[in-house]
Amino acid sequence: MFTPARYIVLDDEPNELATLVDALHVLGAPCVGVRFDPLSLPEPALFAGLRILFSDLHLVKAQPAGVQHYNTLASLIDRCVPDQHGPYLLVLWTSHEHERAALTARLEELLPPAKRPIAVLALDKTRFRNAGAWNADALRQAIREQIISMPQLQALLAWERDVLAAANETLAIIGGLVPDDRRSIGTYPAALDNVLSLLATAALGRDNAPNDPKGAVKAALAPLLSDRILNRPLVPDDAELWDRAVTFQPAAQLTPIQKARMNTMLHLAMPPAETVARQDWGAVMPLNDAMLSDEAMLASYGMTAGDLRDQEFKLKQSRRTEGRIVVIRGGANCDQAQTQSGPIPLLLALIVPAGALATDKKRSPAILLCDEKFALEGYADPVALLIHVRFVTTVVPDELATFPEPTMRLREQLLAGILVHAGAHLMRPGTIRF
Q: Are 383 and 247 in contact (CB under 8 A)?
A: no
- Residue 417 one-letter amino acid: G
Shared domain for 295 and 213, answered yes or no, is: no
Shared domain for 103 and 18, answered yes or no, is: yes
What is the per-residue pLDDT for 341? 62
Number of separate domains in the chain: 3
Shared domain for 269 and 140, answered yes or no, is: no
Backbone φ, ψ for residue 15 (5° rounding): -65, -45
* Domain endpoint, select from 120, 149, 178: 149
Q: Is residue 432 in some structural domain?
A: no
Q: Is residue 434 in some structural domain?
A: no
What is the per-residue pLDDT for 402? 93
Shared domain for 288 and 167, answered yes or no, is: no
Q: What is the pTM of this model?
A: 0.70
Q: Is residue 431 in some structural domain?
A: no
The CATH number of whichever domain residue 32 belongs to comes to 3.40.50.2300
Sheet holding 89-93, edge to edge: 31-35, 7-11, 52-56, 89-93, 119-123
Shared domain for 325 and 379, answered yes or no, is: yes
Three-state helix/strand/coil letters over 287-319: CCHHHHCHHHHHHHHCCCHHHHHHHHCCECHHH
What is the per-residue pLDDT for 65? 63
Burial class (CB in 10 A: 0-12, 13-18, 19+), 106: middle
Shared domain for 144 and 163, answered yes or no, is: no
269 Cβ contact partners less than 8 Å away, ≥ 6 residues apart: 276, 408, 409, 410, 411
DSSP per-residue string spanning 135-175: -HHHHHHHHHHHHHT-HHHHHHHHHHHHHHHHHHHHHHHHH
Shared domain for 98 and 49, answered yes or no, is: yes
pLDDT tens digits along 244-292: 888 888 766 888 898 999 999 999 999 988 889 998 889 999 999 999 9
Give residue 342's region: left, alpha or beta (phi > 0; psi -120 to 50): left
* Domain endpoint, select from 149, 173, 205: 149
- Residue 268 one-letter amino acid: L
What is the per-residue pLDDT for 293? 95
What is the per-residue pLDDT for 340? 61
Neighbours of 424 (CB within 10 A): 11
User: 99 vs 28, 53, 57, 102, 275, CA distance in Å?
Assistant: 30, 17, 9, 5, 42
What is the per-residue pLDDT for 2? 67
Burial class (CB in 10 A: 0-12, 13-18, 19+), 147: middle
Shared domain for 96 and 75, answered yes or no, is: yes
162 Cβ contact partners less than 8 Å away, ≥ 6 residues apart: 229, 232
Residues 175, 196: Cα–Cα separation, whole Å = 10
Give residue 314's region: left, alpha or beta (phi > 0; psi -120 to 50): left
- Domain range spanning residue 31? 7-149
Shared domain for 271 and 400, answered yes or no, is: yes
Shared domain for 143 and 190, answered yes or no, is: no
Q: Is residue 339 in some structural domain?
A: yes
* Domain endpoint, select from 245, 279, 295: 245
Below-50 pLDDT ranges, the chain: 338
What is the per-residue pLDDT for 1? 58
Shared domain for 26 and 126, answered yes or no, is: yes
Shared domain for 63 and 126, answered yes or no, is: yes
Which three-class secondary structure state does DSSP give residue 351? strand
Which three-class secondary structure state does DSSP give residue 126? helix
Q: Is residue 292 in some structural domain?
A: yes
Q: Is residue 373 in some structural domain?
A: yes
What is the per-residue pLDDT for 339? 59
Q: Is residue 96 in some structural domain?
A: yes
Q: Is residue 251 in some structural domain?
A: no
